[in-house]
Chains A and B, each alone.
Chain A
Amino acid sequence: MATTTLSEYRVDPVSGLKINRTANTLVKWNAFAAVVFLLVGGLFGLGVALTRMPSVQLLPPEMFYMFLTAHGLINLAVWIIFFEMAVLYFLGAHVLGNRLATPRFAWAQFWLMLVGAAMVAVAVLGGNSSVMMTSYPPLEAAPHFYLGLILFAVGALIGCFVFLGTLVVAKKEKTYSGSLPLVVFGGVTACVIAIFTIVSGALILIPTFIWSLHIIDGFTINPMMYRVVWWAFGHSSQQINVVTHISIWYLIASLVFGAKPMSEKVSRFAFLLYILFLQLGSVHHLLSDPGLTSAWKIFNTSYMIYLAVLASMIHGLTVPGSIEVAQRKKGMDAGLFTWLRKAPWGNPVFSGMFLSLVGFGFIGGITGVVMSVEQINMIIHNTMYLPGHFHGTLVAGTTMAFMAVTYWLIPVVFQRKIALAGVAKLQPYVFSLGAWVFSISLMGAGTLGVQRRHADITFAGQPLAYEYPEIAKGLMDFGEIFAVIMSVGAIMFIIVVLASIFAGERIPEGSAPWPKVEDADVAFAKTGKKHIGIGGFEAPGTFVLALILFVTLVLYYFINFKYLSTVWGMS
């Protein structure tokens, strides 16, 4: 029963999409809130970075733990989940030319998440909830810390069901036919993982909230059970990001190059593998917990998770592969890498996406796979290796992809041209340089044993002092310099976004459509050629890149097992 009128929609001149105004307002507010939280969380992160530099040590310990808790929660959860809500509404409504199922519930999502995030921020900045993102009992935070997290999670859960409802509406009102477009299917995958994640969070945070109120005598939380259930929330929340940014890679490949997935069936199957197995990666946080059996640890991390890794390999091959095929069809068919050399590196939508792909694959991805091996995990568990790894996935991968797509979303959603185009052009490089070197340096320091979650790695004045090798301190100093460079990249992004939204040249409604990127198949038909590629391979360059990734992974396994053999006293 369609009750919409024509004025509820506009046709966007930039993308050609039919845009529902109500849905667009919600996309705008979620995206805007995300960027504001990125700024706030990033400033806390800068404080953390400058304290972890052994030669600076900016903050006293109490402030450090407060900053670390705020940075972790705001950047790992709030910025990213607000942005994901914007992406889900964009996919469900705008990509399908559809309306949002229940805008009132969508507003409830926004306000619950905002109020929840504010409550957590007040609790942390109040100074009595510096319990880190994980908030492991018996560390106890103020009750409104847990309540804020619960409200935030409930809001996100509502958002997920609004998205699923929107897909039902689209099917009923026939705004698409057949299967969902691949990028929207990626959104469904992210949504499914998000629902598991959020329900797990509620399952553990509700009793923890009750425990923090002290209203039931003798009621306590078993720390081991807490860790098991919390990580179903804590790690899976990062898997939502992985799926969302991979969907964004597909979207950008299609937008910038008119590319089509090399095999849509295979890509969909890879998303199904994520739905089934990606959340099981949570186990790698518990590999050194003595109470859990090796059967549970090994079945999940050494068997099931490789099915999700296979899916990542498929996406990592098919996204650049589809770009290569599109470029070759458009005439850039010479040699192995002409297609890549002649890609639009000055367009931040593409450069950001490709840097995200490489950074995620080589830094976040490889290290995540290797650290999931129980034996190797023993060398680096609870060290700086962990922040190094997840800055490789979440910053170099997810955040970079979100930034890249924002440069495309601003004209479409906010109807403004990108202001400060020169800064935008440079931003992905500055941000990625900072994120990559920062991540690698921290992983180096972690491999040398430098503990995470500690304000002072020199342990000055502590009764049980421990002296790390000088190279570890050097790596921490070096890495944190690049954390500052990464912060500069983030600030450049925020300046471009705010300048574009508030002062960018307006794109009037009804203005002439922007030139479309030519479909690769149409361009190929014009060339009259029959084949592309080399020696029967349509995407030989991507094949070589995939081999390089594979060899790097094998070498990295070897290096870590070799290192393990040297730290093992009996060798």
Chain B
Amino acid sequence: MSESTNNTNPHFMQKVLDNNWLLLALGVLTPTVLYILWGLWDVIHIPMIP
């Protein structure tokens, strides 16, 4: 990956915001864990009628 033409060293947060693939990973993982997996976990663990 070639660096941008800017010679300055960007701030860590700017590096995060400039990395589209990292953003993609974060944007898929966060809702997958907090919404889908946790939600399905709740449904799977509904107690059966004895």
- The proximity string for A residues 182-226 relative to B, scoring 1 for CB distances below 8 Å and 0 otherwise, is 000100110111011001100000000000000000000010110
- How far does the alpha carbon of A177 sit from the alpha carbon of B10 in the complex, in Å? 13
Complex Cα distance A199/B27, Å?
12
Interface size, chain B (Cβ < 8 Å): 29
Which residues of chain B (25-50) have a CB below 8 Å from chain A?
Answer: 26-28, 30-32, 34-36, 38-40, 42-43, 46
A188-B23, A193-B27, A299-B34 known; A178-B17 Cβ under 8 A: no
Tell me, rounded to whole Å, the shortest Cβ–Cβ distance linking B45 to chain A.
9
Are the CB atoms of B23 and A296 closer together than 8 Å?
no
Q: B30 to A276, Cβ gap below 8 A?
A: yes
Chain A residues near B28: list those with CB within 8 A.
Answer: 192, 195-196, 199
Return the CB mask of A91-110 against B: 1 if under 8 Å, else 0.
00000000000000000000
Given A196-B31, A280-B31, does the pair A272, B23 have CB atoms closer than 8 Å?
yes
Q: Interface readout for A160-183 with B: 1 if CB under 8 Å, 0 if not?
A: 000010010001101001111000
**Is A232 an interface position by the 8 A CB rule?**
yes
Size category, A interface: 35 or more
Q: State whether B20 touches A188 (Cβ < 8 A).
A: yes
Tell me, in angstroms, the Cα distance from A165 to B28 when the chains sit together.
18
What CA separation (Å) do A331 and B48 show in the bound complex?
A: 71
User: Which chain A residues border B2 with CB–CB below 8 Å?
Assistant: 171-172
Give the nearest-CB partner of A271 in chain B: B17
Residue B9 interfacial (CB < 8 Å) = no
Contact A276 B26 (CB under 8 A): yes
Q: Mark A29-40, 1 if CB is under 8 A from B, else 0.
A: 000000000000
1/0 per position for A288-312, CB-CB distance to B under 8 A? 0001110010011000100000000
| Closest-CB distance, A208 to chain B (whole angstroms) | 16
Q: How far is the CB of A173 from chain B (nearest CB, A)?
A: 10
Question: Which of B6, B14, B23 is most buried by chain A, counting CB atoms within 10 A of its CB?
Answer: B23
Residue contact A296 to B26, C-beta cutoff 8 Å: no
Residues of B within 8 A of A195 (CB): 24, 27-28
Residue of B nearest to A194 (CB): B27
Whether, in the assembled complex, A236 has its beta carbon less than 8 Å from a beta carbon of chain B, the answer is yes
- The answer for the CA separation of A188 and B22 in the assembled complex, in Å, is 11
Contact of B27 among A167, A185, A192 (CB under 8 A): A192
Contact between B36 and A228 (Cβ–Cβ < 8 Å)?
Answer: yes
* CB neighbours of A192 from chain B (8 A): 23-24, 27-28
Contact residues of B: prevailing secondary structure: helix
CA distance A277 to B4 in the complex (A): 29
**Could you say which of A167, A188, A222, A232 contacts B43, with CB atoms under 8 Å apart?**
A222
Q: Is the CB of B27 within 8 A of A280?
A: no
Nearest neighbor of A222 in chain B, beta-carbon distance:
B43
Are B5 and A225 in touch, CB under 8 angstroms?
A: no
A185 to B23, alpha carbons, bound, how many Å?
11
Contact partner of A291 (CB less than 8 A), chosen from B13, B34, B42, is B42
Q: Which residues, 462 to 478 on A, are CB-close (under 8 Å) to B?
A: none
Is B20 in contact with A276, judged by CB distance below 8 angstroms? no
In the complex, the answer to whether B17 meets A185 with C-beta atoms within 8 Å is yes
Q: A180-B18, A185-B17 are in contact. Are A225 and B27 (CB under 8 A)?
A: no
User: Is A405's beta carbon under 8 Å from chain B?
Assistant: no
Please state if B46 and A291 are interface contacts (CB–CB under 8 Å). yes
Contact B20 A229 (CB under 8 A): no
Task: Return B20 CB to nearest CB of chain A, in Å.
Answer: 6
Supposing A192-B28, A228-B43, A277-B30 touch, asked if A167 and B38 sit within 8 A by C-beta, the answer is no
CA distance A165 to B35 in the complex (A): 28
What are the residues of chain A within 8 A of B32 when measuring CB–CB? Answer: 196
Most interface-central of A164, A280, A296 (chain B CB within 10 A): A296
Residue of A nearest to B44 (CB): A225
Complex contact A229–B40 (CB within 8 A): yes
Bound CA–CA A304/B31 (angstroms): 10
B4 to chain A, nearest CB (A): 5
A280 to B28, CA, bound (A): 11
Chain B contacts for A225, CB-based, 8 A: 40, 43
CB distance from A303 to the nearest CB of B (A): 10
A351 adjacent to chain B (CB < 8 Å): no
Given A171-B4, A177-B6, A196-B28, CB of A279 within 8 Å of CB of B23 = no
Q: Which residues of A contact B14 (CB under 8 A)?
A: 179
A sample of 5 more A-B contacts (CB under 8 A), given A193-B27, A195-B24, A232-B36, is: A172-B2, A200-B36, A222-B43, A224-B43, A304-B34
Cβ-closest 5 pairs across A and B: A192-B27, A279-B31, A177-B5, A228-B39, A275-B27
Show the binding face of B for A, using Cβ within 8 Å. Answer: 1-2, 4-6, 10, 13-14, 16-18, 20, 23-24, 26-28, 30-32, 34-36, 38-40, 42-43, 46
